[in-house]
């Protein structure tokens, strides 16, 4: 079947409503609740880490005057390391949770009778192969970092020229967004070929995603801008302005109300965000060829098990080269 790179925006919005509306309340509370808890814990740990850094600076000054021992800095470093580990663990947990929510909506697209609720999301979370998914996360971060590194280096070299620094930052943001779009379907493609990933490199999911999104990136960007980015920016701008007005006028009640509504609005929109990714993949997959997207990626099972090399005999390079020359000479004589 020929690839259809462009999905209809109008039809996508209609299908998205049909997907999200039936179980909106049942899905919104667990998705929003977990996000709020994640943000609250991250803020608390971040505030704790900031306090540790401040105490470390004070301890270093006191050591200079002989009023503290180096052990105090060592203890502070351990506390800071613990805070970083907890933050990383929370980030991985929330990444797995969002993947479980996307897989739940993906099942809803495939089987309309499926229910989207806290129980169904938790079921998918328990069944995730987290040792594989965290490698996809790390590979994605690594590749995006490597793509943005040249512009970061150039920005550092031209730090005195503010105009060039701004250009580098803008280009860097564009590169990161572009690579993020290319790798956006990695989790879904991994799920469709999960048995084949046993013993394989998880970067193949990113390769397949990049091929899958070939010719689809602008369409994907348009749909996500209209469905996710613009509504959220408008909501956050309105109530962010309310919070700013509260700070400007010293009316701190408005600050708290504005921030609270910003967070609650984002939490309430999470079902739409997670459903959009799953729906786009399922609609685009109808005219895609996953075999082509995964071509020349997976290693043969015989190579993974070592069976391919059981009967292989070592031949010195010089002898092998001479044998090849003799074979070529015989072929020429036969001709």
**pTM for this model (two decimals):** 0.84
pLDDT at 1: 43
Question: Given pLDDT bands bounded at 50, 70 and 90, which one contains residue 107?
Answer: very high
pLDDT at 198: 86
pLDDT at 2: 47
Task: Give the start-to-end residue ranges of the domains of the chain.
Answer: 129-214
Question: Given pLDDT bands bounded at 50, 70 and 90, which one contains residue 310?
Answer: confident
> What is the average pLDDT across 72-76?
75
Closest by CA position to 212, among listed 117, 297, 124, 331: 297
CA pair distance 188, 67, nearest whole angstrom? 57
Q: What is the pLDDT of residues 14-58, one digit of tens each?
A: 999 999 998 898 899 999 999 999 999 999 998 888 888 877 777
Phi first, then psi: give them for residue 113, nearest 5 degrees: -75, -10
pLDDT at 66: 65
CA pair distance 74, 89, nearest whole angstrom? 23
CA pair distance 206, 5, nearest whole angstrom? 19
In DSSP notation, 307-322 reads GGGTT-----HHHHHH
CA pair distance 321, 246, nearest whole angstrom? 80
Residues ≥6 apart with Cβ < 8 Å to 294: 189, 193, 196, 204, 207, 208
CA pair distance 197, 303, nearest whole angstrom? 14
Residues ≥6 apart with Cβ < 8 Å to 223: 7, 9, 12, 276, 280
Of the listed ranges 13-22, 31-40, 70-79, 158-167, the one predicted with least confidence? 70-79
Q: What is the pLDDT of residues 192-229, one digit of tens each?
A: 999 889 888 999 999 999 999 988 999 999 999 999 99
Contacts 24+ apart (CB under 8 A), 166-172: 172/148
Dihedral angle of Cα 286, 292, 293, 296, to the nearest 10 degrees: 160
């Amino acid at each position: 079947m020929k690839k259809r790179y462009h999905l209809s925006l109008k039809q996508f919005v209609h299908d998205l409503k049909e997907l999200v509306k039936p179980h909106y309340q049942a899905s919104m509370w667990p998705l929003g609740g977990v996000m709020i808890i994640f943000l609250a814990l991250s803020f608390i740990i971040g505030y704790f880490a900031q306090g540790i850094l401040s105490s470390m600076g004070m301890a270093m000054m006191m050591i200079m005057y002989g009023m503290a021992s180096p052990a105090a800095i060592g203890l502070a470093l351990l506390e800071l390391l613990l805070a970083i580990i907890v933050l990383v663990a929370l980030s991985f947990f929330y990444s797995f949770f969002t993947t479980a929510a996307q897989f739940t909506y993906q099942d809803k697209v495939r089987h309309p009778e499926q229910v989207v609720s806290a129980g169904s999301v938790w079921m998918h979370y328990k069944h995730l192969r987290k040792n594989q998914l965290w490698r996809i996360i790390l590979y994605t971060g690594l590749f995006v970092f490597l793509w943005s590194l040249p512009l970061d280096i150039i920005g550092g070299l031209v730090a005195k020229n503010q105009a060039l620094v701004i250009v580098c930052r803008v280009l860097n943001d564009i590169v990161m967004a572009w690579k993020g779009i290319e790798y956006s379907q990695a989790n879904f493609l991994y799920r469709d070929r999960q048995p084949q990933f046993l013993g394989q490199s998880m970067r193949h999911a990113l390769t397949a995603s990049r091929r899958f999104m070939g010719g689809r990136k602008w369409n994907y960007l348009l749909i996500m801008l209209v469905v996710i980015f613009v509504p959220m920016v408008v909501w956050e701008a309105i109530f962010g302005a309310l919070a700013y007005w509260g700070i400007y006028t010293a009316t701190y009640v408005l600050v708290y109300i504005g921030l609270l509504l910003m967070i609650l609005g984002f939490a309430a929109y999470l079902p739409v965000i997670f459903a959009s990714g799953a729906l786009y993949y399922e609609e685009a997959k109808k005219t895609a060829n996953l075999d082509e997207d995964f071509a020349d990626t997976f290693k043969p099972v015989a190579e993974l098990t070592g069976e391919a090399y059981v009967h292989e005999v070592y031949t010195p390079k010089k002898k092998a080269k001479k044998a090849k020359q003799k074979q070529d000479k015989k072929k020429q004589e036969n001709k």
